[in-house]
Chains A and B, each alone.
Chain A
Amino acid sequence: MFDVTLSALAAQVFTGLVLGMIFVLLAIGLSLIFGLMTVVNFAHGSLFMLGAYFGVFIFGLTRNFWLSLVVAPLMVGALGLVIERFLIRRLYGRSPDDPLLLTFGLSLIIVEAARLIWGKIGLTLDPPRVLAGGANLGFMTFPVYRLFVIAITAAVLVAIWFFLERTNVGLIIRAGSRDPLMVRALGIDLSRIWLLVFGIGTALAGLAGILAGPMRGVYAEMGVTMVIESFVVVVVGGMGSLIGAVVAGVLMGQVVGLTTFFAPALAEIMVFVAMAVVLLVRPSGLFGEAGLLE
């Protein structure tokens, strides 16, 4: 069991790192919506699934992967705007359980709707030719598409950071998440800001969905495992912390990678063991602010 060659271990660590970045991609939309709005969006997984289906749909019309990659997340984002404007908005100021229940119900509706529209048999989305195939990294052959997903994840993280830290709207968003009352007193319409944040968060779920399609397949239940993966990452990183999501994603990638390597039967449970340990030491997660959900 422990006759490990160094190159096999290097390959494993690298695979785990990439896996961790994929976890980050899945989790950022969820983290953003929670951190800035204190809304636990249980529909995240089904919006992720919709992103993939919209991607297949646009690809079917245009045969252009790149166009689908842009349009599908925007479509999911637009749906997110509608959900916030007409459903979630009515629940602000009530207990956090209410939007949680609402979005949970929505997720069931969206999954069944997808089954009705696209059928019970899943669909395929292939990566474009440029990204198909493997790259020789010296110690292993690694799929080019996964490297591309990492590049997109990094770009998205930089863009979000820039948006939140370096723009006026970002300033208002951050202020609004600290003290909504004060921001309102300054004459700023926070409901628009929250609409925007929810739209961005759901669009990111959609982006993750279309990017996951070529790796995992496109099917109505694809959001179910993804929601678990992203919740673990968000909780370990600290609800609402972007840097926390990155650190936790990479950490979880290594936990999964190394346990799978040495003791595959324990891989699933170790994720939750790691989560429990982190929460014992830091109840709000690695980078979480205390008191967000109390």
Chain B
Amino acid sequence: MNRRSFLASTTLAGATLAFPAVLRAQGKDPIRIGFPLPLTGPFGALAADQQRGAQVAADELNAKGGILGRKVELLFRDDQLKPAVGAQRTQELIDKEKCLFIVGGLAAHVQMAINEQTKKSKVLFISVSQSDEISAKPDTSPLTFHEALNPTITSRAVGGWIADNLGKKWWIIYADYAWGKQNNAVLQEVLKKKGGTVLGATPYPLGSAEFSAHLPKIQAAKPEVLVTVTPGADNIAFLKQAISFGMKKDMRIAQPLHWLPQLKEGGPELYADIYGGTNFYWELQDTIPQVKRYVEAYQKKFNTPPGDYGCYAYSGVMEVARGCELAKSADSEKVADALRKSPVYDHYKGKQWWRACDNKSFQDLWIVKGRDKAKGDWGLVEVVSKIPANEELDRTCAQKGHA
């Protein structure tokens, strides 16, 4: 035995003693989880947060010995926010890379494309971004789980809160595509139930940078609340222009969702006093211990507080692990059955559960409001109200086509 191999074997032996679980996990075939997400393109910042959240989950699982004693490997693939690319990447992840599960997707239409592939290959898919269809017939399947909020839940919860607290005369502006239209429809329905009036609802093409032509009409209508369903960069352009036309002074502005990367991009001056819903905000760590644990793990690794969409990814990967351990198997159908049988979980912000009929996750959400002066770099909003998880916020099983 020469010096080099002696060093190598003793180091290995030392490491085996120090981290037995880690090494045991590496001994068997790893469990591969495929994760398609739009790393390039306009939602790159949200996707980066998803990727980090999933990595935190994988690190945590591997530190404890992996799943069923097997190491967890995450394979991230860029779907470019295009359904065709998402479908292709998913198929490659399953067929070539031998991924046993798929978690991921951002934007409803790409989720659908991913879901078509996972259904075909009979692989469990945990979708981690908003969509109404993904948990409804005909798109859903017994192997399709939906971890994120959806437009119905978000707009019923946030819309109801706006009507109760900010005013009942609204103008809605919404991006003219699936997510925008769904939110608009639900918001109108909520407001009608609350006895309010929609003074107007204007669609605009997704990806617009110019909104000035919409503004004089809204100003003239004098709504109490301007509800904006304007995702991504559109949100910042819209708010900049609406505020420059003096509308923040004349009316309250609220939106179904605030996203942390976007709040950061727009800055405190833009978002001051603007209300929105969210599935997560890192300052909740002051009151919720699970949030504190997740924020600390994320911050230690990435040096920045976690955003809202990364949590879905974290929770999605953790649910794959929980399902495997419950089923004592990495078989997709057995894992899905196990999750339905023990539907309650709590990974990062409190109790959540899978509804049996549609594999939809129910969870708390919060109303937040932009601060005039940010607390540090990322303390951009304050929590105004909590809306507890409630199955009645979604459509019923029957309405979603589940008998």
Contact = CB atoms under 8 A, between A and B. Distances in A.
Interface of A: 5, 7-8, 11-12, 15-16, 18-19, 22, 112, 115, 119-124, 126, 132, 134, 140-143, 145-146, 212, 214-217, 219-222, 224-226, 229, 256-257, 260-261, 264-265, 267-268
B48 A120 contact: yes
Residue among B42, B202, B212 with the highest chain A CB neighbour number at 10 A: B212
Given A19-B213, A145-B244, A267 B204 contact: yes
B244 A264 contact: no
A215 B204 contact: no
Nearest to B265: A122
Interface in B222-236: 233, 236
B217 interface: yes
Nearest to B216: A11
Contacts of A11: 216, 219-220
Given A15-B212, A19-B210, 6 more contacts: A12-B217, A119-B45, A121-B45, A123-B265, A124-B266, A268-B204
B44 A215 contact: no
Given A215-B240, A222-B233, A264 B209 contact: no
A140 B213 CA distance: 13
B42 A143 contact: no
11 contacts: A15-B215, A121-B261, A124-B267, A134-B244, A145-B244, A215-B237, A215-B240, A222-B209, A224-B207, A260-B213, A260-B214
Interface in B163-208: 176, 202-205, 207-208
B356 interface: no
Residue among A22, A143, A229 with the highest chain B CB neighbour number at 10 A: A143
A264 B240 contact: no
Contact of A268 (B44, B205, B212, B237): B205
B264 A267 contact: no
B269 interface: yes
B209 A226 contact: yes
B342 interface: no
B393 interface: no
Contact of A121 (B241, B245, B265): B265
Contact of A267 (B213, B245, B266, B270): B213
A204 B244 CA distance: 24
Contacts of B212: 15, 18-19, 146
Nearest to B42: A221
B213 A225 contact: no
Contact of B209 (A120, A146, A216): A216
Given A19-B210, A124-B265, A265-B176, A216 B215 contact: no
Contacts of B44: 115, 120, 220
B376 interface: no
A109 B203 CA distance: 33
Going nearest first, the 3 A-B pairs with the smallest beta carbon separation are: A143-B244, A11-B216, A120-B44
A124 B240 CA distance: 10
Given A121-B45, A126-B269, A264-B204, A217 B213 contact: no
Given A19-B210, A217-B240, A217-B266, A140 B216 contact: yes
Nearest to B237: A216
Interface of B: 40-42, 44-45, 48, 176, 202-205, 207-210, 212-217, 219-220, 233, 236-237, 240-241, 244-246, 261, 264-267, 269-270
A126 B240 CA distance: 10
Given A217-B236, A267-B204, A124 B216 contact: no
Contacts of A145: 244
A204 B102 CA distance: 47
A225 B210 CA distance: 9
Interface class of chain A by DSSP: helix
Contacts of A217: 209, 233, 236-237, 240, 265-266
A5 B209 contact: no
Contacts of A120: 44-45, 48, 261
B220 A122 contact: no
B217 A261 contact: yes
Contact of A141 (B213, B246, B264, B267): B246
A143 B220 contact: no
Given A15-B215, A124-B267, A216-B240, A8 B207 contact: no
A239 to B, nearest CB: 23
A7 B246 CA distance: 17
A224 B267 CA distance: 23
Contacts of B45: 119-121
Contact of B210 (A8, A12, A141, A216): A216
A231 B94 CA distance: 42
A193 to B, nearest CB: 34
B233 A122 contact: yes
A18 B244 CA distance: 14
A134 B214 CA distance: 17
A264 B203 contact: yes
Contacts of A220: 44
Nearest to A266: B203
A134 B267 contact: no
A292 to B, nearest CB: 28
Contacts of A226: 209
Nearest to B217: A261
A184 B91 CA distance: 58
Nearest to B48: A120
Nearest to B235: A217
A121 B264 contact: yes
Contacts of B267: 124
A225 B208 contact: yes
Nearest to B243: A143
A25 to B, nearest CB: 12
Contacts of B245: 134, 141-143
Contacts of B205: 267-268
A134 B245 CA distance: 6
Contacts of B261: 120-121
A212 B212 CA distance: 13
A221 B80 CA distance: 13
